Amino acid sequence: MGDKELRAAARIVHLPGDEGYDRARTTWSLSADLHPAAVVYPESTDEIGAVLRAAGETGLRVTPVGTGHNAHPLRDLSRTIMLRTERLNGVTIDAPARRARVQAGTTWMPVVEQAAGHGFSALHGSAPDVGVVGYTAGGGLSWYGRKYGLAANHVRAAELVLADGSWLRVDKDNDPDLFWAVRGGGGNFGVITALEFDLLDFATSYAGMLAWDLSKAPQVLQRWLEWTAEVPDEVTTAYRHLRFPPIPDLPEPFRGRDWVMIDGALLTGDEEAERLLAPLRELKPELDTFARVPSPVVSRIHMDPEEPTPGDGTAGLLDALPAEAAGKLLEADATNRLFSTELRHLGGALSRTRPDGGAVSSLDGQFLISVVGVVVNPEMQRAVVAESERMVASLSDYSRDRIYINFQQTQGDTSRAFAPAAWKRIEEIRRRVDPNKTLQANHEI
- Specify the CATH number for the domain of residue 131: 3.30.465.10
- In angstroms, the CA 18 to CA 15 distance is 5
* One domain, residues 185 and 67: no
Position 149 in a domain = yes
- In angstroms, the CA 119 to CA 253 distance is 34
Position 415 in a domain = no
Cis peptide before 253 (omega within 30 of 0): yes
* One domain, residues 32 and 160: no
Q: Tell me the sheet residues that pair with 170.
A: 158
| Cβ–Cβ under 8 Å, residues 186 and 137 | yes
Q: What is the largest CA-CA distance in the chain?
A: 67
Q: What's the number of CA atoms in the CB half-sphere (13 Å) around residue 3?
A: 5
pLDDT digits (tens, 9 = 90+) for 302-346: 999 999 999 999 999 999 999 999 999 999 999 888 999 999 999
Residues of the chain with pLDDT under 70: 1-2
Q: Sign (positive/negative) of CA torsion 283, 289, 291, 292?
A: negative
Position 33 in a domain = yes
- In angstroms, the CA 434 to CA 328 distance is 44
* One domain, residues 315 and 386: yes
* One domain, residues 61 and 170: no
Amino acid at 128: P
H or E segment at 330?
Answer: helix 323-333
Position 412 in a domain = no
* DSSP secondary structure of 165-231: S-EEEE-SSSSHHHHHHHTTSTTSSSEEEEEEEEPBS-SEEEEEEEEEEGGGHHHHHHHHHHHHTT-
Structural domain boundaries, residue 150: 91-201+420-433
* DSSP secondary structure of 370-389: EEEEE-SSHHHHHHHHHHHH
Give the torsion through C-alpha atoms of 84, 88, 90, 93, to 10 deg: -100
- In angstroms, the CA 230 to CA 308 distance is 38
Question: Which residues, 6+ apart, have CB-to-CB distance to 431 below 8 Å?
Answer: none
Position 444 in a domain = no
* One domain, residues 181 and 224: no
Position 225 in a domain = yes
* One domain, residues 376 and 272: yes
Main-chain dihedrals φ then ψ at residue 121, nearest 5 degrees: -125, 165
**Among candidate residues 81, 69, 75, 96, the one with its CA nearest the CA of residue 40:** 81
Q: How far is CA 402 from CA 233, 390, 396, 408, in A?
A: 22, 16, 11, 11
Q: How far is CA 404 from CA 104, 210, 352, 407, in A?
A: 22, 26, 15, 6
- In angstroms, the CA 339 to CA 386 distance is 14
- In angstroms, the CA 197 to CA 151 distance is 8
Question: Of 84, 99, 129, which residue is a domain's last?
Answer: 84
* DSSP secondary structure of 102-118: EETT-BHHHHHHHHHHT
Question: Which residues, 6+ apart, have CB-to-CB distance to 336 below 8 Å?
Answer: 241, 371, 387, 391
* One domain, residues 225 and 361: yes
Question: Which residues, 6+ apart, have CB-to-CB distance to 343 below 8 Å?
Answer: 238, 239, 240, 318, 321, 329, 367, 368, 369
Query: What angle do the packed helices 217-228 and 270-281 form, to 10 degrees?
Result: 140
pLDDT digits (tens, 9 = 90+) for 91-102: 999 999 999 999
Position 185 in a domain = yes
- In angstroms, the CA 141 to CA 238 distance is 12
* One domain, residues 31 and 147: no
* One domain, residues 197 and 208: no
| Cβ–Cβ under 8 Å, residues 218 and 330 | yes
Q: How many domains does the chain have?
A: 3
pLDDT of residue 2: 61
* One domain, residues 56 and 104: no
CA angle in degrees (0–180, nearest 5) for 151-90-306: 65
* One domain, residues 322 and 334: yes
Reported residue count of the chain is 445
- In angstroms, the CA 422 to CA 184 distance is 11
Position 442 in a domain = no
* One domain, residues 254 and 298: yes
pLDDT digits (tens, 9 = 90+) for 25-64: 999 999 999 999 999 999 999 999 999 999 998 899 999 9
